[in-house]
């Protein structure tokens, strides 16, 4: 049996969603604007999109690019960040470069990349890759830097080589921080995915959204926003599950209660 407090906590996100939709519904009814459909209208448009083969192919293509961009970015950024965190010379080389790239909105680079690589998958995947890389590099770097020297010494005394120490001590010790970076990266992957499709209009979830906008199908526009938002929430929730499992050893023993109940 769940206690009333636990039940409230579980139900909170659902209640928040319902509340948001209710406010939307009322606002739309009050404003009576053509470009602002009611929540019910938008929700009714969702099955049409998800039932349409063309749309599904588009959404899946988006997700494929997102997955590829995210995976490649993580695979390159984690080792790079860890090396930067443990080696002064590697950090000295890459830090200025990253400092310059960091504040530049990655979507702003798209025109140039499109010029070079066309408007196809490579360009969009590359932009996603760039968007994901920086937070993952940054958090891996910070995580590696914070690894206790004495822990590495203990490993060295057991006979671990520098490379073994990086993989078998720095990587697990920095994992909580790395996964925080990956979580930010995952959301950024979704954002850059939509942004890239907004600029290079050819296919994808972003394309459906902006095509609908051009044609004045506002219920489809809002339905797509709901779909993309729901995808974001799902990915984040799944990732959070995986993360919590991987770093159970580092979580505080008694988690902060979400409310004062």
Partner 1 sequence: MTAVPARSSEWVRPVTLPEPASAIIEIDRVSQVFQTSARKDHVALSDISLTIEEGAFVSILGPSGCGKSTLLYIVGGFVSPTSGAAKMKGQVITGPGPDRGPVFQEFALFPWKTVLGNVMYGPRQQGVRAAEAEAQSRALIEMVGLKGYENFYPKELSGGMKQRVALARTLAYHPEVLLMDEPFGALDAHTRTRLQNDLLNIWERDRKTVLFVTHSVDEAVFLSDKVVMMSKSPGRIRAVIDIDLPRPRRRTELLLDPRYQKHVVDIERMFDESDEAGPSL
**Residues at the contact surface with partner 1, assessed by CB under 8 A:** 148, 150-151, 153-154, 156-160, 169, 172-173, 175, 247-250, 252-253
CA distance 129 to 79: 15
| Minimum CB–partner distance for residue 43 and partner 1 (Å) | 44
DSSP, residue by residue, 158-198 = TT--HHHHIIIIIHHHHHHHHHHHHHHHHHHHHHHHHHHHH
Closest CA to 186 of 146, 144, 139: 139
| Minimum CB–partner distance for residue 255 and partner 1 (Å) | 13
Q: How big is the chain by its Cα radius of gyration, in Å? A: 22
- Return the DSSP state at 119: S
CA distance 211 to 59: 14
| Minimum CB–partner distance for residue 155 and partner 1 (Å) | 8
Which CB sits closer to partner 1, 117 or 160? 160
Which CB sits closer to partner 1, 143 or 204? 143
Which CB sits closer to partner 1, 250 or 261? 250
How many CB atoms sit inside 10 A of residue 173's CB? Answer: 18
Which CB sits closer to partner 1, 57 or 244? 244
Distances (CA, A) of 258 to 4, 6, 10, 104, 176: 14, 10, 11, 35, 21
| Minimum CB–partner distance for residue 82 and partner 1 (Å) | 15
Which CB sits closer to partner 1, 52 or 148? 148
| Minimum CB–partner distance for residue 153 and partner 1 (Å) | 5
């Amino acid at each position: 049996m769940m206690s009333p407090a636990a039940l409230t906590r579980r139900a909170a996100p659902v209640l928040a969603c319902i509340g948001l939709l209710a406010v939307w519904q009322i606002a739309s009814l009050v404003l009576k604007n053509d470009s602002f459909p009611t929540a019910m209208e938008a929700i009714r448009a969702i099955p049409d999109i998800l039932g349409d083969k063309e749309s599904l192919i588009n959404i899946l293509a988006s997700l494929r690019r997102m997955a590829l961009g995210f995976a490649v970015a993580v695979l390159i950024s984690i080792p790079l960040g860890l090396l930067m965190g443990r080696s002064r010379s590697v950090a000295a080389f890459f830090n200025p470069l990253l400092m310059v790239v960091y504040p530049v909105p990655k979507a702003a680079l798209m025109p140039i990349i499109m010029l070079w690589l066309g408007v196809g998958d490579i360009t969009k995947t590359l932009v996603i890759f760039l968007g994901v890389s920086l937070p993952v590099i940054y958090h891996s770097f910070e995580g590696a830097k914070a690894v206790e020297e004495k822990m590495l010494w203990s490993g060295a005394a057991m006979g671990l080589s520098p490379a073994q120490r990086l993989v078998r001590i720095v990587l697990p010790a920095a994992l909580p921080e790395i996964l925080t970076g990956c979580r930010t990266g995952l959301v950024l992957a979704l954002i850059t995915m939509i942004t890239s499709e907004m600029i290079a209009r050819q296919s994808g979830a972003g394309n459906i959204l902006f095509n609908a906008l051009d044609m004045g199908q506002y219920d489809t526009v809002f339905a797509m926003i709901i779909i993309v938002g729901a995808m974001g929430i799902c990915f984040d929730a799944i990732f959070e599950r995986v993360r919590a499992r991987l770093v159970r050893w580092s979580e505080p023993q008694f988690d902060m209660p979400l409310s004062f109940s």
